[in-house]
Protein backbone atom coordinates (compact mmCIF):
# COMPACT_ATOMS: atom_id res chain seq x y z
CA UNK A 1 0.00 0.00 0.00
CA UNK A 2 1.34 3.38 -0.98
CA UNK A 3 0.25 6.32 1.15
CA UNK A 4 -2.59 6.28 3.61
CA UNK A 5 -4.97 3.32 4.11
CA UNK A 6 -8.54 3.99 2.92
CA UNK A 7 -11.63 2.49 4.52
CA UNK A 8 -15.13 3.03 3.12
CA UNK A 9 -18.17 2.24 5.26
CA UNK A 10 -21.31 1.33 3.30
CA UNK A 11 -24.53 1.78 5.28
CA UNK A 12 -27.03 -0.62 3.69
CA UNK A 13 -30.49 0.88 4.12
CA UNK A 14 -32.41 0.04 0.94
CA UNK A 15 -30.92 -3.23 -0.23
CA UNK A 16 -29.68 -6.26 1.68
CA UNK A 17 -26.07 -7.37 1.24
CA UNK A 18 -27.12 -9.87 -1.43
CA UNK A 19 -28.24 -6.99 -3.68
CA UNK A 20 -25.59 -4.41 -2.75
CA UNK A 21 -22.51 -6.64 -2.99
CA UNK A 22 -22.60 -7.65 -6.70
CA UNK A 23 -22.52 -4.09 -8.12
CA UNK A 24 -19.65 -3.15 -5.78
CA UNK A 25 -17.69 -6.25 -6.77
CA UNK A 26 -18.41 -5.52 -10.42
CA UNK A 27 -16.77 -2.09 -10.01
CA UNK A 28 -13.78 -3.71 -8.31
CA UNK A 29 -13.36 -6.12 -11.21
CA UNK A 30 -13.84 -3.37 -13.81
CA UNK A 31 -10.90 -1.57 -12.18
CA UNK A 32 -8.73 -4.66 -12.68
CA UNK A 33 -8.45 -5.31 -8.94
CA UNK A 34 -8.93 -8.53 -7.01
CA UNK A 35 -11.02 -8.74 -3.85
CA UNK A 36 -11.53 -10.81 -0.73
CA UNK A 37 -15.01 -10.88 0.82
CA UNK A 38 -14.83 -11.87 4.49
CA UNK A 39 -18.05 -13.45 5.79
CA UNK A 40 -19.26 -14.68 9.18
CA UNK A 41 -19.54 -18.33 8.10
CA UNK A 42 -18.78 -20.76 5.31
CA UNK A 43 -22.53 -21.06 4.69
CA UNK A 44 -22.76 -17.28 4.21
CA UNK A 45 -19.83 -17.39 1.74
CA UNK A 46 -21.55 -20.16 -0.22
CA UNK A 47 -24.88 -18.25 -0.23
CA UNK A 48 -23.17 -15.11 -1.55
CA UNK A 49 -21.39 -17.25 -4.14
CA UNK A 50 -24.77 -18.45 -5.42
CA UNK A 51 -25.90 -14.81 -5.70
CA UNK A 52 -22.81 -13.86 -7.72
CA UNK A 53 -23.48 -16.65 -10.22
CA UNK A 54 -27.00 -15.36 -10.91
CA UNK A 55 -27.07 -11.63 -10.08
CA UNK A 56 -27.70 -10.64 -13.71
CA UNK A 57 -29.58 -12.79 -16.21
CA UNK A 58 -26.93 -12.30 -18.90
CA UNK A 59 -23.73 -12.35 -16.83
CA UNK A 60 -22.02 -13.48 -13.64
CA UNK A 61 -19.06 -12.38 -11.54
CA UNK A 62 -16.07 -14.74 -11.60
CA UNK A 63 -15.25 -15.76 -8.04
CA UNK A 64 -14.48 -18.69 -5.79
CA UNK A 65 -14.84 -20.13 -2.31
CA UNK A 66 -12.63 -22.56 -0.38
CA UNK A 67 -14.58 -25.49 -1.83
CA UNK A 68 -13.87 -24.43 -5.42
CA UNK A 69 -10.08 -24.59 -5.40
CA UNK A 70 -7.74 -22.49 -7.56
CA UNK A 71 -7.53 -20.02 -4.65
CA UNK A 72 -4.68 -17.94 -6.11
CA UNK A 73 -6.45 -17.46 -9.46
CA UNK A 74 -9.81 -16.28 -8.12
CA UNK A 75 -10.56 -12.60 -8.90
CA UNK A 76 -12.99 -12.54 -5.95
CA UNK A 77 -12.45 -14.82 -2.95
CA UNK A 78 -15.39 -15.40 -0.56
CA UNK A 79 -14.50 -17.01 2.76
CA UNK A 80 -15.06 -16.98 6.49
CA UNK A 81 -11.33 -17.19 7.23
CA UNK A 82 -9.14 -14.08 7.28
CA UNK A 83 -6.92 -15.14 4.35
CA UNK A 84 -5.73 -13.48 1.15
CA UNK A 85 -4.86 -16.34 -1.24
CA UNK A 86 -5.49 -14.33 -4.42
CA UNK A 87 -3.25 -11.35 -3.59
CA UNK A 88 -6.29 -9.05 -3.48
CA UNK A 89 -5.91 -5.28 -3.17
CA UNK A 90 -9.44 -4.80 -1.83
CA UNK A 91 -11.05 -6.30 1.26
CA UNK A 92 -14.81 -6.32 1.74
CA UNK A 93 -15.98 -6.91 5.30
CA UNK A 94 -19.51 -8.23 5.79
CA UNK A 95 -21.58 -9.41 8.76
CA UNK A 96 -19.62 -7.19 11.18
CA UNK A 97 -16.38 -9.02 10.48
CA UNK A 98 -12.97 -7.51 11.23
CA UNK A 99 -9.58 -8.40 9.82
CA UNK A 100 -6.15 -8.46 11.42
CA UNK A 101 -4.71 -8.18 7.88
CA UNK A 102 -6.13 -4.81 6.82
CA UNK A 103 -2.62 -3.42 6.35
CA UNK A 104 -2.10 -5.90 3.49
CA UNK A 105 -4.87 -4.30 1.40
CA UNK A 106 -4.97 -0.98 -0.44
CA UNK A 107 -8.60 -0.40 0.43
CA UNK A 108 -11.29 -1.83 2.68
CA UNK A 109 -15.06 -1.68 2.16
CA UNK A 110 -17.06 -2.34 5.33
CA UNK A 111 -20.69 -3.16 4.47
CA UNK A 112 -23.16 -3.13 7.35
CA UNK A 113 -26.92 -3.56 7.75
CA UNK A 114 -28.44 -0.20 8.67
CA UNK A 115 -31.66 -1.86 9.79
CA UNK A 116 -29.88 -3.69 12.62
CA UNK A 117 -29.09 -1.40 15.60
CA UNK A 118 -26.34 -3.75 16.81
CA UNK A 119 -24.69 -3.75 13.38
CA UNK A 120 -24.82 0.06 13.28
CA UNK A 121 -23.26 0.34 16.74
CA UNK A 122 -20.54 -2.15 15.82
CA UNK A 123 -19.80 -0.19 12.61
CA UNK A 124 -19.46 3.00 14.67
CA UNK A 125 -16.87 1.28 16.84
CA UNK A 126 -14.96 0.06 13.77
CA UNK A 127 -15.11 3.59 12.30
CA UNK A 128 -13.59 5.07 15.45
CA UNK A 129 -10.84 2.43 15.57
CA UNK A 130 -9.87 3.07 11.93
CA UNK A 131 -10.06 6.85 12.35
CA UNK A 132 -7.81 6.64 15.39
CA UNK A 133 -5.23 4.81 13.25
CA UNK A 134 -5.18 7.84 10.96
CA UNK A 135 -6.69 6.03 8.00
CA UNK A 136 -8.64 7.92 5.36
CA UNK A 137 -12.32 7.29 6.10
CA UNK A 138 -15.47 7.63 4.01
CA UNK A 139 -19.06 6.93 5.06
CA UNK A 140 -21.54 6.14 2.28
CA UNK A 141 -25.31 5.95 2.68
CA UNK A 142 -27.51 4.08 0.24
CA UNK A 143 -29.81 6.20 -1.95
CA UNK A 144 -33.38 5.39 -2.99
CA UNK A 145 -32.09 3.90 -6.27
CA UNK A 146 -29.46 1.79 -4.52
CA UNK A 147 -26.57 4.11 -5.38
CA UNK A 148 -24.34 5.75 -2.80
CA UNK A 149 -23.96 9.26 -1.39
CA UNK A 150 -20.98 10.19 0.76
CA UNK A 151 -22.27 11.58 4.07
CA UNK A 152 -19.07 11.88 6.12
CA UNK A 153 -15.33 11.53 5.94
CA UNK A 154 -12.35 11.72 8.28
CA UNK A 155 -8.62 12.23 7.84
CA UNK A 156 -9.25 13.69 4.36
CA UNK A 157 -10.68 16.79 2.69
CA UNK A 158 -12.22 14.88 -0.22
CA UNK A 159 -15.98 14.53 -0.59
CA UNK A 160 -18.06 13.45 -3.58
CA UNK A 161 -21.15 11.52 -4.66
CA UNK A 162 -21.67 8.34 -6.62
CA UNK A 163 -24.88 6.77 -7.88
CATH code, domain with 72: 3.40.50.10110
Look at residue 108 and tell me if it is in a domain.
Answer: yes
Rounded CA separation 48/40 (Å): 11
35 located within any domain: yes
Query: Domain limits at 116?
Result: 6-143
Question: Is the pLDDT assigned to residue 160 strictly greater than 80?
Answer: no
Domain contains 151? no
Query: Residue 157: what pLDDT?
Result: 56
**Structural domain tally of the chain?**
1
Instruction: Look over the chain and give the mean of its residue pLDDT values, rounded to a whole number.
Output: 92
Mean pLDDT to the nearest integer, 11-17: 95
In a domain, 163, yes or no: no
Given a contact cutoff of 8 angstroms between Cβ atoms, the answer to whether 50 and 68 are in contact is no
- 46 Cα distance to chain centroid: 16
- Distance (Å) of CA 132 to CA 122, 136, 144, 157: 15, 10, 32, 17
Query: Is there a domain that residue 49 lies in?
Result: yes
Q: Which of 84-88, 115-119, 158-162 has the lowest mean pLDDT?
A: 158-162
In a domain, 109, yes or no: yes
Spell out the alpha helix ranges (H) of the chain: 17-30, 42-54, 117-132
The pLDDT of residue 97: 97
Assigned domain for 116 exists: yes
| Predicted TM-score (pTM) of this structure | 0.91
Residue 154 included in any domain: no
Residues 15-60 pLDDT 10s: 999 999 999 999 999 999 999 999 999 999 999 999 999 998 888 8
Per cent of the chain over pLDDT 70 is 93
Amino acid sequence: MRGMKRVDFYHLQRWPLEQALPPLLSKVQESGQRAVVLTASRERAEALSAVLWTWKPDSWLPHGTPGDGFDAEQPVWLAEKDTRPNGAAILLLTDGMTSSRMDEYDRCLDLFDGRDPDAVQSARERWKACRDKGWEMHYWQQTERGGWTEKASANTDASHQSG
